[in-house]
Amino acid sequence: MNIYICVLLFIKTVSSKIETVQRLSNAELDEHTRVTNSHVFPYVVAILQRSKYVSAGALIDENWILTAADGLFLMRETLKLVKVRLGSINYKKGGLLLPAKLIQIHPYFDDKSPIFDVAMVQLAETLRFTPKIKAIRLQKTFMDVAATHFIVTSWNPSLKQKPKHPESMEAIERRRMLTVTHLHPSEVEECAAELDAYGVNKTDLIMCLDPPGGSEICVENRNVGAPVVLNGVLWGVVSSWKTSDCDQGAVGPSFVTRVSAPDVTSWIHATLHGHRWKHKSNE
């Protein structure tokens, strides 16, 4: 009798674990957790081309968004199609939807390299902050990366190809919701070696983050423009860069453009105040 009860309990336990795994799979949680409260990350915005999601960004004052450059580089020619949704965890609805007035790309940006992958979007209207819409402070003093993890928030990229089977409305809604993940910084030596492989020696401009279990560096739009935050301060935004000969399945870190790097923070400050940026040596 005792053996029979034990067998039943074992079967019940296994069944419960299988159901749990199925639920997690269906929810597409992986290393990301979906956000359910718009008050938690009031600085995160979604940059859209018409209604299509392009990248995440960080609200840094009443008029300006900080994000990655690559996704916006060609969109300057179709500025009237660029919109920014603020104060909502769903990039398709809710909150405040405003047109973009201006897109500024860092003058040193080059799509052949991950450095200086940063842009600023000026809103067509000056914002009034609310509990759901607030700017985040920028890290202004350059510091060594010694944190255990950073908070990264973004939306899932749009599907490039239609799925073989029709998606349920629940799955579509999940993909439209803001996600948050905690990413650990790479060791400084490992990050430097990774950058050196791409001919980059300006390690003060970039921080590397290691997604849990590794990540495909060639996945398009992976966390592009996502704010990278520690203790309520913006350290950088996730770069959109990938190699031109990128092979699907390649594993590597996320590159983050650091806002405290001298040639980045001075450019941001000049742009915010409408000043002409005095280019420094980029040797």
In order of their start, the domains of the chain are 44-272 (2.40.10.10)
Task: Dump pLDDT digits (tens) for 97-155.
Answer: 999 999 999 999 988 888 999 999 999 999 999 999 999 999 988 888 876 789 999 99
Q: What is the pLDDT of residue 203?
A: 82
pLDDT at 266: 95
The per-residue pLDDT for 10 is 38
Residue 26's pLDDT is: 33
Question: Whose CA is closest to 99, among 118, 117, 78, 119?
Answer: 78
The most confident of 139-143, 164-168, 260-264, by mean pLDDT: 260-264
Choose the weakest-confidence range: 164-178, 224-238, 252-266.
164-178
Q: What is the pLDDT of residues 87-99, one digit of tens each?
A: 999 999 999 999 9
* CB contact at 8 A, 277 and 262: no
Is the pLDDT confidence value at 60 over 50? yes
pLDDT of 9 = 43
% of residues, the chain, pLDDT over 90 = 47
Q: Please tell me the predicted confidence (pLDDT) of residue 160.
A: 52
User: What's the pLDDT at 78?
Assistant: 84
The two tokens of residue 280 are 């420094």
Check residue 24 and give its pLDDT. Answer: 30
User: Cα dihedral sign for 97, 55, 135, 176?
Assistant: positive
- Mean per-residue pLDDT, 63-86: 90
φ, ψ for residue 254, nearest 5 deg: -85, 135
Predicted confidence (pLDDT) at residue 212 exceeds the cutoff of 80: no
Whether the predicted pLDDT of 55 surpasses 90:
yes
Which band of pLDDT confidence, cut at 50, 70 and 90, is reported for residue 158? low
What average pLDDT does the structure give for the chain? 81
243 or 96, higher pLDDT = 96
* Position 246 confidence tier, pLDDT thresholds 50, 70, 90: low
